[in-house]
Structure 1
């Protein structure tokens, strides 16, 4: 049996026991996919990452991301947290290039005046893609809300992605606090839209200027609610920029996890490029645990 070192960090926060926790397992090259999935289920966090050797030595690492039930092509808070952990081990690490199924992810490390890592910025691997719209009634039923709680003046609920698809919907401010996900309704929504590949993750928000309050629900993958979701907030920022044809970029301060008692803060920027609307996000991290897994 081999002992593997792991760390946990709280991401998108400067305060321990808030933000979104992440487990990072180092030197995981000997683990097969079923073992990685079992370890992720054991941690029982929104995501767990496994750091392995890169296919291209020009990159920092290959990073495999698992939620409680499946491997993921991309996710935001695992990129920030994994880079933070590696930066703690490598004092000279300034830019990390991670190989994930969605592409190459560039992560810039942020350090304090003493050189200690404090957070990171992530450039998402794919430009914004917008898919089909979703009936507002479907969103309302999934969160046990009224149809009138779903705001459609700016856009209908819509599938959006920067490498990881989410259904994004705007809610009234009051409704955002009243969300109560129904597992049965999420299953009905998944079955009503088989073209989504068996996935129905719902990211909802309300907006006050450039400040957004957001919540993300993915009970079908074991995440009843997520404290902070980088891969949902980047397409949200891109979607909002797409609705303002006169703007070249947009910056948002996004608060998530408040209702869960794990407040998180994400700074997200979307900008128009020749390749489409691309996005980046930044956030802080704090270390929590270090341990060993014997496998």
Structure 2
């Protein structure tokens, strides 16, 4: 019997196993075509599966392709963090600081891995800064699609907006964590106004508030993916990347480095923490980074 292709399962954006966002990393993906990768991702049936391939440029660490069970992603945060940590652990560099480049469909992604506390922490530079996109939907329509009342949408000067740093999200500010917990997603209503991405998937909902459960966190968030059925994601790096645009527009951070911890997945019983750093100069966002921990929970071989 052949040995199969090695894979690992990591929980990402957490230091605790069985929390955060699970990720499959197939570390021996050379020779797989797109259809095979899609089939394997469907077999794992996690929100994303990462496939590690030899880099096109020898000085880079690896080429990484990221698949949901239904389609390939140009970029995603928790697969980038989880894969960076998996590759570091494979190289037995866990006690050393490592900086390297991953080749993803969106472009080159610079990663840094360090050991912080009892587990590895990885962060990456956003390959694309967030940009605003047009959104015609009213806050009343968004509220209805989330099962909320119009007066529960928005806080301070924060309003519903649409941002993308490679993957688009409708960012929806709500009054507090109690309102966030009461979200009941209506697929049909959401499909009437949410812009479609190039792959025909609909932009997802990113619900957030300033009230948090963890005292050291700046925002509380939930992310819901439309579909048949829709599902909630416990930790979403690409959404945090897009959310950086909303922070810049509404909070207007001062020049320098601003750091925010975002909690997510609490309503699902899979708490996670995502670190978002913004570099601001002249009132403009010039760079940003997403970071988090990841822990290995399983490993094996897939015969495909």
- Alpha-carbon separation, structure 2, partners of 1:5 and 1:74: 22
Offset of residue 112 of structure 1: 5.4
2:100 is aligned with 1:96: yes
Q: Deviations over 1:234-275 (max 9, x none)?
A: 221342123344612422111000000000011111122588
Comparing 117-126 with 196-205, greater Cα deviation is found at 196-205
User: In the alignment, what sits opposite 2:123?
Assistant: 121
Match of 1:107 in 2: 111
Q: Is 1:237–1:252's contact at 8 Å kept on the other side of the alignment?
A: no
Could you tell me how far 1:2 is from its partner in structure 2? 6.8
Q: Which runs of 4+ in 1 moved over 6 A?
A: none
Gap regions ≥5 residues in structure 2 = none
Runs (5+) with no aligned partner, structure 1: none
Measured after TM superposition, the shift of residue 143 of structure 1 is 1.4
Counterpart secondary structure, 1:258:
coil
- Cα deviation, residue 140, structure 1: 1.4
Is 1:247 the counterpart of 2:254 in the alignment? yes
Secondary structure of 1:58's aligned partner? coil
268-277 or 228-237: bigger deviation: 268-277
- Provide the residue aligned with 2:32 in structure 1: 31
Q: Find the counterpart in structure 2 of residue 220 from structure 1.
A: 227
Aligned to 1:130: 132
Q: 2:175 matched to 1:172?
A: yes
Question: How has the CA–CA distance of structure 1 residues 222 and 80 changed in structure 2, closer, same or farther, with 3 Å as cutoff?
Answer: farther
Q: Cα–Cα, structure 1 residues 288 and 194, in superposed 2: closer, same or farther, change >3 Å? A: closer
Mapping of 1:268-283 within 5 angstroms?
268-272=276-280, 276-283=285-292
Greater share of residues in helix: 1
C-alpha distance in 2, partners of 1:246/1:6? 41
Q: Aligned residues, how many?
A: 291
Separation in structure 1 between the aligned mates of residue 115 and residue 230 of structure 2, nearest angstrom = 31
1:288 aligns with 2:301: no
Identify the residue that residue 185 of structure 1 maps to in structure 2: 189
